[in-house]
A and B are shown apart, each in its own frame.
Chain A
Amino acid sequence: MTLPSSSMVVQLNNVSKRYGRRWALVQLTFAIPEKSSVLLTGGNGAGKTTLLRMLATSLKSTRGEVRIFDKLSGVDNDLIRPRLALVTHDSHLYDDLSAEENLSLVGHFLPWVDMRRMGDILERVGLAPRRASAVRGFSAGMRRRLCMGRMLLVEPELVLLDEPFGQLDPPGVALVEEIIREVQQKQVTLVMSTHDVERGEALCDHHLHLKSGRVLRAVEPLGEPGEATRIAQELEARGGWH
């Protein structure tokens, strides 16, 4: 069943992306309905990070069209970017600034953000005691929390998470899960890549699987529990492109 395009937050049409000689993404065509939570799975090097960065308009497609909020990526980036947030391996933080100062930057560049919430958000992500410390001294887990906090500050419509559970201790993982559920309450569209498929499955209602840059399972709604894990394993075990 195809829904009217205006209710598709993300639309990719025959999108390919090349890095030098290597094609990282090959002929991707799929759509993500609004308010859905998509679990993005695939082995290492499958193209998950590349895809997420492309959805964030950080990368341009080599071929094909990417539409976010029904606007064309590459042309209307300034209309798209304020409405999404990407949390990825690169923290986008300035090591010599404090947690507070890094968040304040958001307020300086995006005047519509309500910076009064900053204090609460720092509490929420458990960084209030370290708010004035330079990020240079932060562990990987703490940096991740700060990035999640920054995402909360911006209140995006589309949330893109690249391995959000990576490098987090159990309390950190629990916090991220909580935050994900919280934003889902606010009716955002979520795309999350993770190797922890079971955990991801519990949080998402759609599944997208990449292998060698291609879509092996387009954005399908998830049925029974464990379905994604099972399918991901099957798809990886199957021969095919490498």
Chain B
Amino acid sequence: MTSSFAERRPASLVAGVRAVINKDLLLEWRSRARVNATIFFAFLTLLLFLFAVGPDTHIMAQSAAGYLWLAVLLSSVLSLGESFRMEAENAALEGLRLLPVDPKAMFLGKAIANTLFLFLLAVILVPVTVAMCGVEVQGSLMHGVAILFLGAAAISAPGTLYAAIASQVRARDVLLPLLLFPVLIPAIIGAVKATKLLFAGDPMGDLGRWTALLIFFNATYWLLCLLLFGRVVEE
């Protein structure tokens, strides 16, 4: 044997998280046809909202932020579900668990990878929204990036946990949104409000409080889901 058995320590948490992120991003890249399709789905959703509500440009501009985040939210159901479908295919997640890999690393790695995808999606949707709804971007780039990132992260934390649960039961397609959407309501409120201020301008300086809300939501849920994830994947 190349190492004494007493020295067989698994990777550190950081190394484990990095490995999971790399694996997930690599897998997403390999199935990029599906990723592209999900992005087009987001565009399509946005388009449908506009057709359902338009052609009054005033209304469209008012609600642009809402449509953006709803499109991201609906697409997240697809991407989160997919994130665990590939783990369930050959019981790969169980294999990782038995190496062993710390469930905390699994959660952080997958949630971060999911956040990156949703953030990318939101970023792509902004110019589309701006063009189709006739809004302008008044806020700074830094604020914009922060809000998009916080919103993506807010969806990913409980989303990753619930996707792990849903992937292990029947009716997984409907269970994920059923569990996820109620919990996300405050985050969606915060993200939409903040984005609206970034589009329309922030005369009363309200952006701070919505950002604070998003930060607080993320802090609470990332911590909570991290602690609870073990119970969801461990037998």
Contacts and interface: CB of A to CB of B under 8 A. Distances in A.
A adjacent to B, CB under 8 Å: yes
A112 B15 CA distance: 13
Contacts of A109: 10-11, 15-16, 19, 96, 99, 101
Contacts of A96: 27, 30-31, 86
Contacts, number: 97
A191 to B, nearest CB: 15
A110 B15 contact: no
Given A78-B100, A92-B96, 17 more contacts: A58-B235, A82-B8, A90-B90, A90-B95, A91-B90, A91-B91, A94-B23, A94-B86, A94-B89, A95-B89, A95-B90, A96-B31, A97-B27, A105-B19, A108-B22, A111-B10, A155-B3
Contacts of A56: 98
A103 to B, nearest CB: 12
Interface in B1-42: 1-3, 5, 7-11, 15-16, 19, 22-23, 26-27, 30-31
B14 to A, nearest CB: 12
B146 interface: no
Interface of A: 56-60, 77-78, 81-83, 86, 90-97, 101, 105-106, 108-114, 134, 155, 157, 186
B92 interface: yes
A241 B90 CA distance: 33
B235 to A, nearest CB: 5
B149 to A, nearest CB: 26
30 contacts: A58-B94, A58-B98, A59-B235, A82-B5, A82-B8, A82-B9, A83-B5, A86-B98, A91-B91, A92-B96, A94-B23, A94-B89, A94-B92, A95-B89, A95-B90, A96-B27, A96-B30, A97-B23, A101-B26, A105-B19, A106-B99, A109-B99, A110-B99, A112-B8, A113-B2, A114-B3, A134-B30, A155-B2, A157-B5, A186-B1
A105 B16 CA distance: 10
Contacts of B3: 112, 114, 155
A97 B10 contact: no
B58 interface: no
B209 interface: no
**Which size bracket describes the interface of B in this complex?**
20 to 34
B100 to A, nearest CB: 4
B97 A112 contact: no
A97 B90 contact: no
Nearest to A84: B98
A113 B100 CA distance: 13
B13 to A, nearest CB: 11
Give 3 closest A-B pairs by Cβ, nearest first: A92-B95, A90-B91, A108-B19
A104 B64 CA distance: 45
A135 to B, nearest CB: 8
Nearest to A61: B235
A92 B19 contact: no
Nearest to B31: A96
A144 B113 CA distance: 30
A82 B6 CA distance: 10
Contacts of A90: 90-91, 94-95
A176 to B, nearest CB: 19
A82 B2 contact: no
B97 A58 contact: yes
A81 B98 contact: yes
A186 B91 CA distance: 29
A94 B100 contact: no
A108 B10 CA distance: 9
A91 to B, nearest CB: 5
Contacts of A78: 10, 100
Contacts of A94: 23, 27, 86, 89-90, 92
Q: In this complex, which of A56, A59, A110 has the most chain B Cβ atoms within 10 angstroms of its Cβ?
A: A110
Nearest to A56: B98
A140 to B, nearest CB: 11
Contacts of B30: 96-97, 134
Contacts of A186: 1
B96 A112 contact: no
